[in-house]
Amino acid sequence: MKELLTAKRLLRRIALALIILVLVMLVCSVIGTEKVSLRNVFAGHADGKAANPDYQIFIRVRVPRVILAAIVGAALASAGVVFQALLRNPLAEPYILGISSGAGLGAISAVILGIEWTLLGRSPLAVFAFAGALGTVWLVWFIAKLAKKNKTTTLLLAGVVVNAFFSAVIMLLISVAKSSEFYSTIFWLMGNILEEEFFVLWLAGGFVALAVMALYKISPQLNAMTFGPQDAKNLGINTAAIRTIAFAVASAVTAVAVSLSGLIGFVGLIVPHAVRLLFGADHRQLIPLSAVAGAVFLVAADTIARTIVAPAQMPVGIITAIVGGPFFLVLLIRHTRKSAF
Amino acid sequence: MKLQYLIIAFAIWIVLSVVLFASRSSSTQPVHDVCEPQRIISTAPNLTEILFALNLDERIVGVSRNSNYPPESEEKPKIGTFWQPNIEAVIAAKPQLIVTLSFEQQINLAHRLDRMGFNTLTVKIEDLGDLYTAIEKIGTSAGRMQAARQVIDSIKTNLNNLSKKVRAYKKPGTLWVVQRRPLRVAGPDTFISRLIQIAGGKNVVESSIYKYPPIGAEQLYACNPEVIIEASENCENLREQRKEALEYYKKFKGLSAVENRRIHVIDADSVSRLGPRIDSGAEKITECLHPALTEPACGGSQLFYDKD
Amino acid sequence: MSIIEIKNLNFSYTAKQPVLRGLTLDVTAGSFLAIVGPNGAGKSTLLNLLSGLLRCSSGTINVDSRSLKSYSSQSLARKIAVVRQQTPPPFGFSVLETVLMARTAFFTSSGFESSEDLSIVDEALRATDTFAFKSRPLTSLSGGERQRVFIARALAQNTSILLLDEPTSFLDLRHQVKIYDLLKVAQVEKSKTIIAATHDINLAAQYADSALLLKPAATHRGESSASSLASCFEYGAVHEVLTPQNVEKTFAVETFVSTVGSERFFLPLGSLAKDRRILSRQNKTDRI
């Protein structure tokens, strides 16, 4: 099926993937609803902001958006890989343990309470959604801890229960909200990539990059964990520590992604599978390549989302679903002929 | 990959973050204040109407997609929709003032534009008082304070005259329907309720935790409104819509409004939009409530006299 | 020399039902121990205790003269490898990748296998006759082939002790024998200690040196504690433990016992056999 993975091969693949990512990002920076002439951009930032809209659009709108899409895509894809490995379930994705409803609850609470203050220029929805996401993960983890054995199933069930409960609370709050509040929350939740200032991008990007590196470090252990906690333990893995680290990192990275851009679905589910189908299930390869592939995917999807129904901006989550579904289907059909899934 | 590399990378990230954070506060763009902005953008239809009312029409360089009044506004370049403004189009229009409403998406847009050094004005328009404040603020920012005061005074005068006109008459119990399925109506804590009051009606809905409560058939019969008014986005075919409404409400037999066929459909733009046409909107409501008093307008010389 | 020493081991899942009581035995290094007993007697439980997945409520287990509790997962994995029944994960790992995971505990800090790891794995694949499909995904193999892969993985761990839980339950006759041959070779040539829990007392009797016969707690409930301890298990050389009396009493079934040379075979008798009057009680043992 595939040749054996060696360090050299892996480095080559990662390097190639990163080159593709940079190229895609450059191309997508040039695409948009307004025509931007690169020559004007390089003329620099003239004094008096009205003088050089090309520069403004390119440097302050397009480039940050493309970078943010890459960061969020990488975060969701790598988190998806981890959740699939730990829960030993190919249908797992980053929101499976209730993060989505927790973030949604945080967001709608912020809107209804009329919170005004911002953190680092991020809207209150983002901050509350982040807190909601992390709080929910902690809650689900805590519930699962109460069970003595069969952690995996308990985690999944706890996630389902928390999701259901929080969704009910969200529905209650929505019914009370003004229509503008309601629409605001829904649009925010649908997932949008917007410009952020470079400091926020640096923080988030650095965090996601470090998280992916950390997950790569434990990827051989993740390989073993897919055979179940008993097997993994007998192979010498400290399953409790690995599980805690992996969940914590994957959840944190997902919470960051959600707070930056709302709930963008499909990336965390599809990208890991696509990479797995093309390159195999070894997590030492799967994690870094999924991160890069997720970045490429979301950059492309966001570019489509912001140009296809100009001048409106379609929420990027719609594109990821519409594009992601059939793409995955084709990949699946072509490759199940070569290997069993 | 050794663990040490990871830790070193982490440490570098933390250090650089602190450095960047410190240098960040000194690099935000200064906001250029322009006394008489020549290029103005509106992100909502009521804001567009206000700008036109202040005679700023030639200065408007961008409006949101559903700005449809006055008709000239439809010629203006579009910068996105009400819910999803397109920041690239806004920047490309080289605006000197951008006026937005105060809900999440638009506040977010205003902040982002602020960060880039643009001059933005965010106004909250959720009731009549807000409307007056907003018109004043926009007038101030655009250098049209006198025009603003005139518009405000004109609206206030019209509304006052209207309420004087109807003072002597009994106020019919009114139900304002926002949505049919499920039935949602305007509660007492809304600007619509206030308008109904001015227009000579009495909102039959009691206060609850919802501003626009969904109500069931039981409460409907308990309120027993004498007049039911629906606001429609579609200004054409108001007659057809009224016929259709009469059919729909037939199932609530025994309701005073149904028995007396006092069910009306009026165009939402002048009322729900909370813009400078609010006075004519109130007049339309008065036509529905006190038909004998007023000249009939859009949708109804048939208010009382058609037998269908 | 004992590689595993168990003293007075007690374990129960719930307070009322003890599964193992007062278990005491020493496993000689390089021996082949078969753990037999009816369902629920605690065979899998004992294996899980030995491999560090369960904690005993009282008693001690020493592995290689150190208390089992003192081992970390990683250090225990260098002493004990386990083969158990399982479904493969729903991801497309190949046979080679699966067996390579045995070397995870030995990876260099770069997270990759050394050439030594690769040669150990190669050897394990050849020993289990799975080298031919090393590139195929694990999920595409039959149950028997998969079983051999898991045994290869355990061999690749290069441990001195091998624990197996029902290693031949899904295998055809040929592969049943092949697996036991394989285990015997590992025992003899590599001096591994093999501990296999199995339902197949005949093959166990053929290949094992010693046997541990576990009697389920239910059979000795109601007896006084002193005598019940004594009758909870039997340990010793395989032919001393697997006697017709022990087998019939523990498994609560009539058996037909046949001896061929020094090998003894048990055939369980159900009502059909008795109906057909194939054998009367007096003719139960037979010399061929």
The helix/strand/coil state of B112 is helix
Decide if pLDDT at A314 tops 90.
no
In whole angstroms, give the CA distance from residue C161 to residue C31: 10
Handedness of CA B144, B147, B150, B151 (dihedral sign): negative
Tell me whether the omega of the peptide bond preceding residue B182 falls within 30 degrees of 0, making it cis: yes
Closest residue to C74, CB basis, from A7, A227, A236? A236
What does the mean pLDDT of chain C come to? 84
Cβ contact B20–A210 (<8 Å): no
Decide if pLDDT at A78 tops 90.
yes
Residue with tokens 């959840």: A251
Evaluate whether C30 touches C64 at the Cβ level (below 8 Å). Answer: no
Q: Report chain B residues whose CB lies below 8 A from the CB of A185.
A: 104
The helix/strand/coil state of A62 is helix
CATH number, position C22: 3.40.50.300
> Looking at the complex, does the CB of residue B111 fall below 8 Å from at least one CB of chain A?
yes
Asked if residue C211 belongs to a domain, the reply is yes
Q: Report chain B residues whose CB lies below 8 A from the CB of A48.
A: 32
Asked if residue C109 belongs to a domain, the reply is yes
Residue C262 domain boundaries: 253-288
Cβ contact A234–C80 (<8 Å): yes
Residue with tokens 């590196």: A213
* Minimal CA separation from C215 to chain A, in Å: 25
Q: Where are the domains of chain A?
A: 21-34+63-336
Cβ contact B3–A195 (<8 Å): no
Q: Report chain C residues whose CB lies below 8 A from the CB of A88.
A: 89-90
Decide if pLDDT at C229 tops 50.
no
In whole angstroms, give the CA distance from residue A161 to residue A140: 9
Going by C-beta distance under 8 Å and a sequence separation of 6 or more, which residues neighbour residue C69? C55
pLDDT at B112: 87
Can you tell me the mean pLDDT for A150-168?
Answer: 86
Model confidence over A80-117: pLDDT tens digits? 999 999 998 888 889 888 888 999 999 888 888 877 77
Identify whether residues C275 and C141 lie together within a single domain.
no
pLDDT at B301: 43
Cβ contact B1–A217 (<8 Å): yes
CA distances from A120 to A116, B25, B115, B153, B248 (A): 13, 10, 12, 41, 52
Altogether, the residues listed in chain C come to a count of: 288
pLDDT at B123: 92
Indicate the CATH number for domain A21-34+63-336.
Answer: 1.10.3470.10
Model confidence over A11-33: pLDDT tens digits? 999 999 999 999 999 999 888 87
Identify whether residues C271 and C129 lie together within a single domain.
no
Decide if pLDDT at C221 tops 80.
no
Q: Which spans in chain A are helix H?
A: 7-30, 38-42, 53-55, 63-86, 99-113, 124-146, 151-176, 179-189, 198-217, 219-225, 229-234, 239-261, 267-279, 283-307, 316-336
Strand order in the sheet with B40-42: B60-62, B40-42, B97-100, B120-122
* Minimal CA separation from A2 to chain C, in Å: 7
Decide if pLDDT at A271 tops 90.
yes
> Looking at the complex, does the CB of residue B188 fall below 8 Å from at least one CB of chain A?
no
Identify whether residues C113 and C47 lie together within a single domain.
no
Identify whether residues C211 and C73 lie together within a single domain.
yes
In whole angstroms, give the CA distance from residue C255 to residue C252: 9
Q: Tell me which H or E stretch contains C88.
A: none
Cβ contact B91–A53 (<8 Å): yes
> Looking at the complex, does the CB of residue B179 fall below 8 Å from at least one CB of chain A?
no
- pLDDT 10s digit of each residue in chain B, 308 long? 678 888 999 999 999 988 888 887 655 555 555 678 889 999 999 999 999 999 888 899 999 888 888 888 888 898 888 888 888 889 888 899 999 998 878 888 898 888 888 899 999 998 889 999 999 999 999 888 999 999 999 999 999 999 898 888 889 999 999 888 888 899 998 899 999 999 989 999 988 888 888 888 888 899 899 999 998 877 778 888 888 888 889 888 888 888 888 899 988 887 888 889 898 888 888 888 888 876 555 444 444 434 33
Neighbours of chain C (3+ CB pairs under 8 A): A, B
Identify whether residues C220 and C165 lie together within a single domain.
yes
Q: Report chain B residues whose CB lies below 8 A from the CB of C109.
A: 1-3
The DSSP-derived string for C149-169 is: HHHHHHHHTT-SEEEEESTTT
Query: Domain B40-143 in CATH: superfamily?
Result: Nitrogenase molybdenum iron protein domain (3.40.50.1980)
Decide if pLDDT at A311 tops 80.
no
pLDDT at C220: 46
Closest residue to C73, CB basis, from A88, A216, A233? A233
Cβ contact B21–A199 (<8 Å): yes
Q: Which residues of C touch A (CB under 8 A)?
A: 48, 51-53, 72-78, 80-82, 84, 86, 88-94, 96-98, 101-102, 104-105, 107, 110-112, 135-137, 139-140, 157
Q: Report chain C residues whose CB lies below 8 A from the CB of A338.
A: none
pLDDT at C16: 76
> Looking at the complex, does the CB of residue B168 fall below 8 Å from at least one CB of chain C?
no
Running DSSP on this structure, what letter comes out for residue B60?
E
Cβ contact C110–B3 (<8 Å): no
Cβ contact A1–C135 (<8 Å): yes
* Minimal CA separation from A285 to chain C, in Å: 11
Q: Report chain A residues whose CB lies below 8 A from the CB of B95.
A: 50
Residue with tokens 């998806």: A80
Can you tell me the mean pLDDT for C57-80?
Answer: 90
| DSSP-derived pairing of the beta strands B60-62 and B97-100 | unpaired
- Angle at CA of residue B229, ends B224 and B233, nearest 5°: 150
Which of A14, A45, A56, A261 is most worth mutating to test chain B (most B CB atoms within 10 A of its CB)?
Answer: A56
In whole angstroms, give the CA distance from residue C153 to residue B71: 78
Model confidence over A221-248: pLDDT tens digits? 999 999 988 999 999 999 989 999 999 9
> Looking at the complex, does the CB of residue C109 fall below 8 Å from at least one CB of chain B?
yes
The helix/strand/coil state of B21 is helix
More confident: B11 or A36: B11
The helix/strand/coil state of B228 is strand
* Minimal CA separation from B4 to chain C, in Å: 10
Nearest to C231 by CA among C214, C254, C210, C255: C214
Can you tell me the mean pLDDT for C2-23?
Answer: 85
Model confidence over C243-259: pLDDT tens digits? 888 888 888 888 888 88
Indicate the CATH number for domain B168-289.
Answer: 3.40.50.1980
Running DSSP on this structure, what letter comes out for residue C105?
G
Decide if pLDDT at A317 tops 80.
yes
Q: How many A-C residue pairs are in contact by the CB < 8 A criterion?
A: 107
% of chain A with per-residue pLDDT over 90: 41
Asked if residue C240 belongs to a domain, the reply is yes
Strand partners, C5: C26, C62
In whole angstroms, give the CA distance from residue B75 to residue A109: 39
Nearest to C169 by CA among C209, C196, C129: C196
pLDDT at A295: 97
pTM for this prediction: 0.85
CA atoms within 13 A on the CB side of A163: 12
Q: Report chain A residues whose CB lies below 8 A from the CB of B83.
A: 183, 187
In whole angstroms, give the CA distance from residue A335 to residue A324: 16
Model confidence over A39-49: pLDDT tens digits? 666 666 555 44
* Minimal CA separation from B3 to chain C, in Å: 8
Residue with tokens 């993740």: A222
Can you tell me the mean pLDDT for C161-178?
Answer: 88
Q: How many domains, in total, are found in chain C?
A: 3
Identify whether residues C171 and C246 lie together within a single domain.
yes
b (16+ CB within 10 A) / e for C217-237: bebbeeeeeeebbeebbbbee
Q: Report chain A residues whose CB lies below 8 A from the CB of C98.
A: 227
Can you tell me the mean pLDDT for C1-6?
Answer: 88
More confident: C274 or B92: B92
Give the nearest chain A residue to C93 (CA atoms): A281
In this structure, what token pair is assigned to residue C59?
Answer: 């008693």
Q: Where are the domains of chain B?
A: 40-143, 168-289
CA distances from C259 to C46, C128, C151, C202, C208 (A): 30, 31, 31, 11, 16
Identify whether residues C175 and C232 lie together within a single domain.
yes
Identify whether residues C166 and C231 lie together within a single domain.
yes
* Minimal CA separation from B289 to chain A, in Å: 27
Identify whether residues C137 and C20 lie together within a single domain.
no
Cβ contact A202–B115 (<8 Å): no
Asked if residue C189 belongs to a domain, the reply is yes
Neighbours of chain B (3+ CB pairs under 8 A): A, C
Nearest to C152 by CA among C115, C191, C89, C100: C100
Give the nearest chain B residue to C107 (CA atoms): B1
Residue with tokens 């659009």: A57
Identify whether residues C167 and C49 lie together within a single domain.
yes
Residue type, C234: E
* Minimal CA separation from A267 to chain C, in Å: 18
* Minimal CA separation from C64 to chain A, in Å: 17
Give the nearest chain A residue to B19 (CA atoms): A199
